[in-house]
Each structure stands twice: as C-alpha cells, then as structure tokens.
Chains A and B, each alone.
Chain A
Amino acid sequence: MSDTIDVMINGERRTVAAGVTLLELLASLELDPRVVVVEHNRAIVRRPRLPGVTVAEGDSIELVHFVGGG
C-alpha cells in the first residue's frame, strides 16, 4: 500500500498522506476548522465529525468560507 493518495481539493489534484483525516487535512493546509466548511464527496461534514472521517484515494473535497458579497 502506498504512503500517499491523490485527492481533489477545491478542484485541484493534491497528494496527501494515506489515512489522513479531514481535520488533519485542514491542519496541513493551515486552515482554521472554525471558519471553513468541509464538503466531502458532496456531503457536508460537520466540525465535530472532522477527526473521524478518513480521506480515501480519489475523494473530492470542497473547502469553503465566507467572502465579501452582496
């Protein structure tokens, strides 16, 4: 088994460590889980569940936050 996997994060292919959780992924990207919402394969993952969800090869992850808008 390979040590790394490829996933799509915000539409970009990224290589991450195999077995990484969503919370660890946020930490590696230096993102504060309090201001980022995670969508994992089109399903929203609430903050308390972030440590319990492991990322798998080919997963699609969207990381969104609030920006200026009208």
Chain B
Amino acid sequence: MSGARAPFGDPARVVPDKGITAIVTGATAAAMAFLAVFALALSLSSGQLAQRWSDTLSQSATLRLSAPPSQIGAQTAAVLEILRTTPGVTSTRVMDIEEQRALLEPWFGPDLPLESLALPRMIEIIESSQGFDAAGLRLRLASEAPGAVLDDHTRWRRPLVQAADSLRLLAWLSVALIGGMMAAMVTLAASASLEANAQVIRVLRLVGARDAFIARAFTRRFAIRAFVGATVGTLLGIAAFALLPVAGDSGFLTGLGFAGAGWLSPLVIPPLAGGIAWLATRAAARRVLKREG
C-alpha cells in the first residue's frame, strides 16, 4: 500500500516531481554556483592582493638627506640617532657610494664622478610590523636635521590598495548579481511550476489543506533542487580551480584562486542557493495562492 519512492503519506509527494521546471532550476543553480565560485575567488584574491601590496610597501621607508658637504657627516649622525630612538624602526642602513653609483648608472653612465657632486645621502629604514609615527618623525627631523626628507611610500601605496579594493568591490557585486539572477530564475521556474500544478493546488485546497502546507510542498522541492544543483556547480568550480595551471610565481594572476582555508569558502554557496530558492518560491507561492480562489 505504500509508495516505493517515499514513505506513505509523505507531504513531499503531493507535487509531481517532473517537468522542465525541475531541470531549469537545477541547471540554473549549478551554473550560477559555478560562476559564484569564480567571483568568490576573485574577491578573496583581490583582498589578499591589497593586503600583500600594502604590507610590502609599508614595511620600508626611505630617508633622503641633503646638506652641504661640510655638514653631511654630522647631520647623518643626528638622523641615525633620531631613528635609533624612534619606536617602530627595526633597523637603518646608510647606502654607500657604490650602491648609489649602481642606482644612478642607468641614467648617467658608469663614469660619473660622484665624488664631485653634492649627492644626498640615502638611508633605508626597515619598520617593525607596528610601523612608526611618520608625522612625529618628520617633526623631529625638521628641528634637528632640516635637510632630511622622509618618504614612507604612502604616495605609491594608496592607489595600489585602492585599485585592489575596487576589484574586491566588483567581485562582491558579481556575487550579489549572481545571487539576484538565481533568485529571479527560480521565481520564474517556481511560478511556472505553480501554474502547471494549478490542479494539484485546487485538489489540496478542496481536501482542507492550508496555504502554508501547499506553499511548503513547493518551497521544499525547489530549495532541494537548487541546493543539489548548486552543490554540483560548486564542486565543478572548485575542480576547475584545482586544475588551473599556475602562471609562474610573479605577476598579477599568481594570487587568483583559493589558498588554505579559502578552499572551504565556496561551500557556503549551496546552502545559500537553497535559501534563496526557498525564499523565492515562497514569495511566488504566496502570490499564486492569493490569486486563486
């Protein structure tokens, strides 16, 4: 007396499980989940990229000291003393003349008589992870070594970090759009299914089913379809990343993909897809039921 597929009297059986809407919902969820994996990877990677650029550039600063040849020695010593007592400065290094020659060679050639030029002295500062107070340091330098100019690379860092942040924003926008599109597709599929099953709804109403029961019969089914479809799409997306060839160890694309615990982040996509489908179907069911007598 019991059905072979589900326990007898299972409410999930009252809506026939066939038709084009089942395929459309599952396939849409799979495709959207596949795209969402890429958008998620992009957003995570751009976040890491912004962090990496920011970290690299903020770990070092340069101090340029210009002074008449007679005073350069004394001012260098003063500057080094200031830096030694500045919290957040790990180490300092005065570039020697050979290093400066190597830096200038591409522009002026190898035979430049550097000794006869009043070249500024370059001091490289390595910061601790906390960094130092650049404004405070500038004030101290201004009073004790007026020829010193501090460059903490903020000028270079800011646009790079901004670019990475915009990229991340775009990626999250893509995730949101993909979610919205999936909600729209599931709503259309659910509406079509509700129309196609008008007779089922009518019979259920006649035997005393409340609206909540009828809506649940549909929402459950669509949520499960979307969840299963999204799971397939997500796994395919992860597999695609796992098989992606690594493009060397430098360059922009190096960071694109998942790393460490990041590989787990796409696993939120299937439950999210199921949740979106559930909400979309419930809204469609309520609308149709309100219209029916």
B is bound to A: no
Q: A residues within 8 Å of B by Cβ?
A: none
Q: B residues within 8 Å of A by Cβ?
A: none
